[in-house]
Structure 1
Amino acid sequence: MSQQELEDYFIDFSKKLTLWASPEVIIAWSKFRNNANNDSTDTLSNVDNIYRAMRKDLGNSNKGLNNKAIINLYLNEQV
């Protein structure tokens, strides 16, 4: 994916969130976007927080899911 395609994706995704997502999802997305350029070690935690907020928005429980439990489903090594 080119840099331009990635930027276009983020812009489109952000527009959709503005209309459809709960405040918690928007806040989690905003935090991720603000920290994404900082080589932050919190990036994976921020993505996990987006997933958690989306699950909650859809009415799913996050009870019993440890920190980074969701993002670890996509990674080969546990972080």
Structure 2
Amino acid sequence: MKGILKIINLVIGLAIIVGFLYGFWYLLSSLWRAFSGLPKEYVPAIVTAVTTFIVAVMTITLGKYLERRMIIDKEMREKKIPVYNELIDFMFDLMDNPHSKTPVEMNDFIKDFTKKILVWGSDEVIIQWSNYRNISKRKEEANDPNIILKELEKLLLTIRKDVGHKNKNLKEGILLSMFLKS
């Protein structure tokens, strides 16, 4: 059944492509016939006018698209940063005083943060948050704080990347050393 649907989709897709190609060819041949009968003095002016129009339309369309994309990215970043700051504040509190949070408070924070990150986090941040949580839960890794801290650093780097930082000069351990020295 799936094989037949794939063949039908392929045939429909090919028919659409052939239709577009035929329409494009027909348009070009019609334009060629229309312009071939004009005096040669008019052709450069017409080509210039058409080219100017096409470039103007493309420039405006692309500009509006990019502007809308930048606005959406800015609004998303404004929503993400407070969520990410909550995690960083929570982690700093735990690093400063490991006994400042009860297990219930930590679980409540994790649940609340997970809800927020599902809405506002990028795919990469969600994946890294899941990796961090899964490694933190495993008994083998839970006994080795280096593994958990390395995953935390990966999460922090992913968060930085999500809010627009390049992270290109940050070597492994840099963020973690800042985090632990504070």
**Fold agreement, TM-score > 0.5:** yes
One of 15, 21, 33 as aligned partner of 2:133: 33
Segments of 5+ residues of structure 1 without an aligned counterpart are none
Counterpart contact for 1:24–1:53, Cα < 8 Å: yes
Aligned length: 76
Instruction: Flag the structure with larger Rg.
Output: 2
Deviations 1:21-55 (A, max 9, x none): 10110011000000102314311111111111111
TM-score by length of 2: 0.40
Counterpart contact for 1:48–1:68, Cα < 8 Å: yes
RMSD across aligned positions (CA): 1.1
Q: Aligned equivalents of 1:68 and 1:27: distance in 2? A: 20
Instruction: Tell me by how many angstroms 1:68 deviates.
Output: 2.2
Match for residue 157 of structure 2?
Answer: 52
Moved over 2 A (4+): none
Taking the TM superposition and a 5 Å limit, the aligned residue runs for 1:13-24 are: 13-24=113-124
TM-score by length of 1: 0.89
Q: Which letter maps to 1:45? A: K
Larger helix percent: 2
- Percent identical residues: 33
Counterpart contact for 1:44–1:71, Cα < 8 Å: yes
Between the two structures, name the one with larger relative contact order (CA 8 Å, sep ≥ 6): 1
Counterpart contact for 1:44–1:68, Cα < 8 Å: no
